[in-house]
Amino acid sequence: MRKFKHFVRDTAAEILHASHLTCPAFRARNKLTIATFHRVLPASILAQYPLPGIAVTPEELRRFLEVFQEHYSVGSLHESARLHQSDQRPEKPLLAITFDDGQLDNYLFALPVLNALNVRASFFVVTDAIEGNEVLWHDKIAYAVQKLQQRDASALQTWLSGLGVQGHASDPVNAAIAAAKLLEPGERAGHVGRLEQLTGSHIRPDWDGMMTWDQIREMRSGGHEIGSHSKSHPILPLVSDEALHHEIRHSRDLLEAQIDHEVRSFCYPNGDYDERVSACVRQAGYEFAVTTRYGINPKDSDPYSLRRIDLQSGYGKNAAGTFRSSGLLLRMTGLLPGMS
Ligand SMILES: [Zn+2]
């Protein structure tokens, strides 16, 4: 069944490509396309990483960007979104490149590829996580669940039911993250704390970490955009007015002081926002905010609820495992949510 699905998708991608229907010059003309990356990990590390759905290898990043450069005018979010609003559009459709979460791999493995291809991108960082070199809560859960799966399945099961995950989840890492996401931050921290007691405190693999302020400043001075992804990566619609203000405005003040440059773009943690949240982002002085809703943005789209196209390892590969730009461009049309 999966093979058949792949065959249909590959054939559709080739036909649509041949007829230019997926060609960005046709599909994305006068629109703003925004690509989302998170982790950029060498294949040997990616094979062990518990959330492969948010990672690409440096080689894949390079291949994706080369295809993008052929078909789009590629740049940071601020630069691309400003051009999108103006009448001075470049000949090729606009594509912004964004990276969420500010992890060290962005500096180690994404930056050299971007610089080699002369592509400017936007990096959304979580200020508390940078300050404390602290793993984000979804990674904490992912590493710990992965460890407990191998070590003590029954303790894991007990912890999962305490979190409200019923029965035996086929994908306990993502089931736990989805359940934890709905909790108020203090309650979530309690569950994560109990999980850490079960696994021992050193759950982050040695290769992982956050970028430092020096590395972030180096990126900024190289022409890349630094945007805010809040102070602590909470689910913003669930936090109080006071905490919301803190997460949105104070993260901007702190970032601006650290990088000595204006911060204009915001990225909603986990893509969650509502009217109160986007009003706060606007009032805090940001010009643009990105979501995790899949799609591309027409000319009159709201600058505080921009859609994006998330990318992961394997995208663009056909059933035989060969990379085809037609497969990647089909994903970039905004017509294919949940492709795998
Ligand atoms: Zn995030």
Task: For 321-337, write each residue's pLDDT tens digit.
Answer: 888 888 899 889 888 76
Q: What is the mean pLDDT of residues 298-317?
A: 94
Residues 228, 319 within the same domain: yes
Q: Does residue 309 carry a pLDDT above 80?
A: yes
Q: What is the mean pLDDT of residues 109-137?
A: 95
Query: Would residue 92 count as lying in a domain?
Result: yes
CA 101 / ligand 1 centre spacing (Å): 5
Q: What is the mean pLDDT of residues 290-308?
A: 95
What's the pLDDT at 306? 98
Residues 31, 123 within the same domain: yes
Q: What is the pLDDT of residues 124-147, one digit of tens each?
A: 999 999 999 888 999 999 999 999
Q: What is the mean pLDDT of residues 49-56?
A: 94
Closest CA to 139 of 236, 200, 239, 54: 54
Residues 126, 242 within the same domain: yes
Q: What is the mean pLDDT of residues 248-277?
A: 97
Query: Would residue 312 count as lying in a domain?
Result: yes
Q: What is the mean pLDDT of residues 157-165?
A: 91
Residues 47, 109 within the same domain: yes
Residues 189, 304 within the same domain: no
Query: Would residue 233 count as lying in a domain?
Result: yes
Residues 89, 187 within the same domain: no
CA 292 / ligand 1 centre spacing (Å): 10
Q: What is the mean pLDDT of residues 37-45?
A: 97
CA 147 / ligand 1 centre spacing (Å): 22
Residues 177, 217 within the same domain: no
CA 11 / ligand 1 centre spacing (Å): 34
Domain boundary at 156, 173, 199, which?
Answer: 199
Please report how the helices 153-162 and 185-199 are oriented relative to each other, as an axis angle in degrees rounded to 10.
Answer: 170
Domain boundary at 147, 175, 199, which?
Answer: 199
Q: What is the mean pLDDT of residues 42-46?
A: 96
Query: Would residue 224 count as lying in a domain?
Result: yes
DSSP per-residue codes, 99-150: EEE-BHHIIIIIHHHHHHTT---EEEE-HHHHHHT---HHHHHHHHHHHHHH
Q: How does residue 247 score in pLDDT terms, banded at 50, 70 and 90? A: very high
Residues 118, 149 within the same domain: no
What's the pLDDT at 1? 57
Query: Would residue 315 count as lying in a domain?
Result: yes
CA 255 / ligand 1 centre spacing (Å): 16
Q: Which of 79-93, 220-234, 314-328 has the lowest mean pLDDT?
A: 314-328
What's the pLDDT at 327? 87
What's the pLDDT at 340? 40
CA 25 / ligand 1 centre spacing (Å): 30
Q: Does residue 113 carry a pLDDT above 80?
A: yes
Q: How many domains does the chain have?
A: 2
Residues of the chain by 3-state class (helix, strand, coil), percent to 5: 50, 15, 35
Domain boundary at 149, 169, 199, which?
Answer: 199
Domain range for 16 is 2-133+213-332
CA 178 / ligand 1 centre spacing (Å): 14
CA 202 / ligand 1 centre spacing (Å): 22
Residues 195, 317 within the same domain: no
CATH at 72: 3.20.20.370
Q: Which of 20-24, 31-35, 128-132 has the lowest mean pLDDT?
A: 20-24
What's the pLDDT at 2? 63
Query: Would residue 292 count as lying in a domain?
Result: yes
Query: Would residue 339 count as lying in a domain?
Result: no
Query: Would residue 154 count as lying in a domain?
Result: yes
Percent of the chain at pLDDT > 70 equals 97
CA 148 / ligand 1 centre spacing (Å): 24
Give ion ligand 1 contacts, CB < 5 A: 100-101
Residues 29, 119 within the same domain: yes
CA 42 / ligand 1 centre spacing (Å): 20
Using CA atoms, how far residue 115 sits from 33, 83, 124, 218, 253, in Å, is 21, 22, 18, 12, 28
> Are the C-beta atoms of 173 and 180 separated by less than 8 Å?
no
pTM confidence score = 0.92
CA 269 / ligand 1 centre spacing (Å): 5
Q: Does residue 203 carry a pLDDT above 50?
A: yes
What's the pLDDT at 338? 56
Residues 73, 181 within the same domain: no
Residues 150, 77 within the same domain: no
Retrieve residue 174's tokens. Answer: 């993502």
Mean pLDDT estimate for the chain: 91
